[in-house]
Amino acid sequence: MRVVRISVPTPFYVGPVNVYLIAEDPLTIIDTGPKTKEAIDALRAGLRAAGFLLSDIRRIVLTHAHEDHCGLARAVRDEAKNAEVLVHEWETGHRHSRLEYEEHRQLLVRAGVPEEEIEMMRRMYDGVRQYADSLADHEYAPLWDENELQFASGSLRILHTPGHTPGSCSFLREADRTLIAGDCVLKRITPNPVLSPDPLNPARRFPSLAEYLVSLARLRACSPTLVYGGHGDPVHDFEELFHRYFRAVQQRQGEVIGLVKKSGVTAWDVALAMFPNADDVHRFLAVSEAVAHLDLAHSERKIALELKGPTEVYKPAT
């Protein structure tokens, strides 16, 4: 099975995104790049270098529905005359190219984010969503955990690996234990568990970091020999990276618990203390990171949680 990495530029801070071409019948791409002219040109050029046209694509598989990964899904599908688009059902919040705004707002209020910051984050998100076309529910086919994507000469096993987003998926080729993992595994960056409503109960938030650690352990149990991530170079030593991630999580847990004062702190207070210089999109990611770590510490009873009106306030465990 021939896997070709195509690096596609994005207008985002993260830099280029990886699209993976599975040069097999049915011709498949995993992720697409954002909806920009530069991205579709790069995708076209990458396909051409591998001997294909965009219109040859029969199947578009999305690791998750962030704009840099899914933005071109509709354009590619249309040019490829109704290629199939697959994504996990838990990506609903993102895949319409809009956050369920009211649900997110409530999560941000609970995290103690001030009203004017929430308004700024909304405006920022309005800017980001232009980089993806929306598709209706019936235009997607679902990815199911433990099912297989079939190809003429083999298959990829679908692994639901939530954490970065609720519906993030990875794809394992068992013959040589190579893995395509989207933003679940990145060589240089520790993936951010992004603040999301729980797909099963949108009034609650998704326990992203706890889920992420389970997903990482599950990937580790596959003993991958090579991991293709959503950004940057492939990872040859997953075991080393796994331990590095766990150390980073533990270190941050210590840091976050240390910021929880007797007088009580919100996730927003913790985010500002950890990332005093974060601006625009990074404020949202900073809050995501703070909430994810506070949730994990609270679930392990290392800190206490009280409600103050609509806002959650954390205090040292008693």
Query: Residues interacting with Zn ion, by CB under 5 A?
Result: 66, 68, 183, 230
Cβ atoms of 148 and 122 closer than 8 Å: no
Cβ nearer to Zn ion, comparing 180 with 303: 180
- The token duo for 136 is 């209706």
CB of 10 to Zn ion, least distance (A): 8
Nearer to Zn ion, 158 or 313 (CB): 158
How many helices and strands (H and E) does the chain possess? 10, 15
Dihedral sign for Cα atoms in the order 92, 95, 101, 107: positive
Provide the minimum distance between the beta carbon of 67 and Zn ion in the complex, in angstroms, as a whole number: 9
Least distance from Zn ion to the Cβ atom of residue 251, Å = 23
Residue 136: how many CB atoms within 10 A of its CB? 8
Helix (H) or strand (E) holding 221: helix 208-221
Our CB check for Zn ion shows the closer of 69 and 314 to be 69
- If the CB atoms of residues 31 and 295 are measured against Zn ion, the closer one turns out to be 31
Shortest distance (Å) from residue 7 CB to Zn ion: 13
Rounded least distance, CB 112 to Zn ion, Å: 25
Contacts of 169 (CB under 8 A, 6+ apart): 63, 64, 88, 143, 145, 158, 159, 160, 161, 182
Q: Which residue is nearest to Zn ion (CB)?
A: 66
In whole angstroms, how close is the CB of 127 to Zn ion at the nearest point?
Answer: 17
List CB contacts of 305: < 8 A, sequence separation 6 or more: 298, 312, 313, 314, 315
Nearer to Zn ion, 132 or 256 (CB): 132
> Could you give the CA distance from residue 123 to residue 131 in angstroms, rounded to a whole number?
14
Compare residues 140 and 314 and give the one whose CB is closer to Zn ion.
Answer: 140
Q: Label residue 83 left, alpha or beta by phi (over 0 means left) and psi (-120 to 50 means alpha).
A: beta
